[in-house]
């Protein structure tokens, strides 16, 4: 079984394509950080845990709660910037951060697959599906046997 899959890297700027407008900002990792996902390659939505480093340039700039191991949903797709020849991973952390965390190190543990990528007829349909993804992710990691992952030694 491929899971858990581990990734880490410094959060990069994405295309700024309305993540925040949809109420769902998605953090992007550099290309080389996504290599571990090549063992699955299936595009779509995944769930797991993420941890954002509180520090940037050696100084703690995020609050303590922001640095915890938190549930996440991740969309894995083809990157239009590279003519769809490379994968891209967009990670929404289920937590209300006080500020952006561009440049911060982020650790991601992927634990399972939720659904394939879909084309949406409307913005409302997309938002509704994202809400379903979040509920599925929370339900999945709440199951017996998953708690061990939150305290895995991969995280700080």
Q: Known catalytic residues? A: 90
131 token code pair: 């809400």
- Partner whose binding site includes residue 115, from ligand ADP, Mg ion, none (CB under 5 to 8 Å by kind): none
- Among 4, 9, 14, 44, the residue binding Mg ion under the rule CB under 5 A is 14
Q: Which residues contact 79 (CB under 8 A, 6 or more apart)?
A: 85, 86, 87, 88
Q: Does 44 bind Mg ion (CB under 5 A)?
A: no
Output the smallest distance, CB 71 to ligand ADP, in A.
10
Backbone angle region of 27, left / alpha / beta, with phi > 0 → left and psi within -120 to 50 → alpha: beta
The CA distance from 84 to 78, in Å, is 5
Residues that bind ligand ADP (CB under 6 A): 11, 13-17, 19-20, 25-28, 92-93, 95, 97, 100-102
Alpha helices in the chain (DSSP H): 123-141, 147-150
Output the smallest distance, CB 128 to ligand ADP, in A.
19
- Partner whose binding site includes residue 88, from ligand ADP, Mg ion, none (CB under 5 to 8 Å by kind): none
Name the site residues for Mg ion (rule: CB under 5 A): 14, 19, 26
């Amino acid at each position: 079984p491929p899971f858990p899959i581990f990734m880490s890297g410094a959060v990069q700027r994405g295309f700024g394509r309305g993540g925040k407008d949809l109420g769902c900002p998605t953090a992007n990792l550099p290309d080389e950080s996504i290599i571990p996902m090549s063992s699955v390659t299936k595009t779509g939505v995944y769930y797991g845990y993420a941890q954002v480093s509180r520090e940037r340039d050696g100084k703690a700039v995020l609050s303590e709660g922001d640095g915890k191991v938190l549930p996440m949903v991740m969309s894995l797709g083809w990157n239009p910037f590279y003519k769809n020849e490379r994968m891209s991973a967009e990670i929404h952390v289920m937590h209300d951060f006080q500020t952006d965390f561009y440049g911060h190190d982020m650790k991601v543990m992927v634990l399972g697959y939720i659904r394939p990528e879909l084309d949406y007829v409307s913005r409302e349909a997309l938002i509704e599906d994202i809400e379903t993804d979040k509920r599925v992710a929370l339900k999945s990691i709440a199951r017996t046997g998953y708690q061990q992952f939150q305290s895995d030694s991969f995280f700080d």
